[in-house]
Amino acid sequence: MTNLTLKPYISEEKIQLKVKELGETLTKQFKNEKVIAICVLKGSFMFYSDLIRSINADITCEFFGVASYHGGTSSSGEVKVTLDLASPVENQHVILVEDIVDTGLTMNYLKNSIMSRKPKSLTTIALLEKPDALKVKCDVDHVGFKIPNDFVVGYGLDYQGYYRNLPYIAQVQNFQ
Ligand code: 5GP
C-alpha cells in the first residue's frame, strides 16, 4: 500500500449534500422520462451509484470505460477506451456522469463519442472541475465542486489504483 499523506479536502457530509442537490435538479429535468445514466469507469463509480439513487426517474445503467492518466498524476492527453457501451443510446435521453474534469480532453472525447450515436439529449455532469487546468473549451451542464489545480484522491478517484474507497476527497501532500 502507498503511504501518502492525505489532507481531507471535501468531507463525506458535504459530498452527500451536493449529490442530493444534483439528484433533485436531475429529477426535475427527467421526471416521467426514461433516461440512460452512463457511468464513466473507473473514477465515477462511487459518485454515480450515489447520484442515481437520488434521481427519481426511470433509469437504466450503462458503463463506459476510459483511461487517460495511466496510473500517474498528470493527464496523458490521450484517451483510451477500455470498455465501450453495451447498448445503443440512439433517440434516448442520456446523462453522462464523470468524476472530474481536468484538462477537459476526456469529457470532450466522451461527449463527441456519445453525440455520434445520436441520443435524444445529452446532459453532462461532473462531481469536480479544475477550471485552471482546462486545456480545451469544455462545457459541462452540472458541476458539483470547482477545485484548484491540485491532485485529489478518494470517493472513486485513485492514485496508482489506491484510495478509491475513501468516502471523502483528499489532497495528496507528498508524492513519491
Ligand atoms: P482530463 O481528460 O480532463 O484531463 O482528465 C480526466 C480524467 O483524469 C478524470 O476522469 C480522472 O480519471 C483523471 N483525473 C484528473 N484529475 C485528477 C485528480 O486530481 N485526481 C485523480 N485521481 N484523477 C484525476
With a 6 Å cutoff on the Cβ, whether 144 touches ligand 1 is no
Gap between the Cα atoms of 112 and 165, Å rounded: 30
Does the structure show a pLDDT above 60 at 50? Answer: yes
pTM of the model: 0.94
**CB 68, CB 77: distance < 8 Å:** yes
Is residue 96 classed as helix, strand or coil in its secondary structure? strand
With a 6 Å cutoff on the Cβ, whether 45 touches ligand 1 is no
Which of 4-8, 117-121, 150-154 has the lowest average pLDDT? 4-8
- What value does the mean pLDDT take over residues 16-38? 97
Does the structure show a pLDDT above 60 at 1? Answer: no
- What value does the mean pLDDT take over residues 128-156? 96
pLDDT of residue 41: 97
Give the E-state strand segments of 50-92 in sequence order.
Answer: 58-67, 80-83
Nearest CA to ligand 1 atom 17: 151
With a 6 Å cutoff on the Cβ, whether 101 touches ligand 1 is yes
Domain boundaries, the chain: 12-149
- What value does the mean pLDDT take over residues 134-154? 96
Nearest CA to ligand 1 atom 5: 102
Which pairs with CB-CB distance under 8 Å and at least 24 residues apart come from 111-115? 113/64, 114/38, 114/89
- Of 147 and 67, the structure prediction assigns the larger pLDDT to 147
The reply to whether 84 belongs to the active site is no
Give the distance (Å) from ligand 1 centre to CA of residue 33: 31
Instruction: Report the percentage of the chain scoring pLDDT > 90.
Output: 85
- Of 19 and 71, the structure prediction assigns the larger pLDDT to 19
Does the structure show a pLDDT above 60 at 70? Answer: no
User: CB within 8 A of 163, min separation 6: which ones?
Assistant: 4, 6, 153, 154, 157, 170
Cell matching residue 62 = 450503462
**CB 4, CB 175: distance < 8 Å:** yes
Best substitution site from 109, 157, 168, 171 to test ligand 1's pocket, by max atoms within 8 Å of Cβ? 157
Give the distance (Å) from ligand 1 centre to CA of residue 23: 22
- What value does the mean pLDDT take over residues 125-139? 95
- Of 175 and 143, the structure prediction assigns the larger pLDDT to 143
pLDDT of residue 68: 78
With a 6 Å cutoff on the Cβ, whether 153 touches ligand 1 is yes
**CB 44, CB 74: distance < 8 Å:** no
Does the structure show a pLDDT above 70 at 77? Answer: no
The amino acid occupying position 57 is A
Instruction: Could you please state the CATH topology (level 3) that the domain comprising 12-149 is classified under.
Output: Rossmann fold (3.40.50)
Give the distance (Å) from ligand 1 centre to CA of residue 99: 8
pLDDT of residue 107: 96
Is residue 114 classed as helix, strand or coil in its secondary structure? helix
The closest of 21, 16, 51, 18 to 37, measured between CA atoms, is 51
Average pLDDT score, the chain: 93
Specify the ligand 1 atom closest to the Cα of 103. Answer: 4
